[in-house]
Amino acid sequence: MSQQYKLRTGETLIEHVLDSMTAVFQASSGITHLVTDPVPAILEVLSDQFVDSDQVAERLQRQFDLQADADVAAVVAARLEELWQLGLVERRTAP
């Protein structure tokens, strides 16, 4: 069964682009995260509903006109896991 992810309910993230990285201020914890691409794009996809890693990969491929690729899905899955461990997103098992 796949895992689905979504930005934590009620969370406010403030993003600021700093050349090669993006600083993300998480209001609930007061922590500043420094992230690289494609994390800002992933966070945008997760803003309003639960999605799994395949759906996120598909949206990114469409948005950035990428070839369908197993690597993209693997990278997205790894980043989603990290975002969950950082407490930036919530996770549930797909119904």
Partner 1 sequence: MNPLQETHLAIGPARFRIALAWKQPLELLKRLYADYPDPDDGFADFTVRLEPDKPWRRFIRPSVHISGDFWLPDAAPLPLEQGLLAAEMGMNLQMALGWRRHLLLHASTVEKDGRALIMTGLSGSGKSTLSAMLGERGWRFMGDEFALLCPDTGQIYAFPRLVSLKNSAIAAMQKELPDDRFGPLLKATPKGDIRHLKPAAEAIANMHEPARPALLLFPRFGYEPAIRKMGQSEIFVRLTQASTNYVALGEAGFRALTEFVDQVPARAIDYQSGAEAEEIINRLWDELAS
* Window contacting partner 1 (CB under 8 A); options: 3-11, 20-28, 50-58, 83-91: 20-28
CB neighbour list of residue 32: distance below 8 Å, 6 or more residues apart? 23, 24, 25, 26
CB atoms within 10 A of CB 86: 14
Contact 15/24 with Cβ under 8 angstroms?
A: yes
CB atoms within 10 A of CB 1: 7
How many residues form the binding site for partner 1 (CB under 8 A)? 13
* Window contacting partner 1 (CB under 8 A); options: 13-21, 55-63, 68-76, 87-95: 13-21
Residue 94 to residue 34: CA distance in whole angstroms: 29
Q: Considering only residues 23, 68, 74, 78, which one is a binding residue for partner 1 as defined by CB under 8 A?
A: 23
34 binds partner 1 (CB under 8 A): yes
30 binds partner 1 (CB under 8 A): yes
10 binds partner 1 (CB under 8 A): no
Which spans of this chain sit near partner 1 (rule: CB under 8 A)? 14, 16, 18-21, 23, 25, 27, 30-32, 34
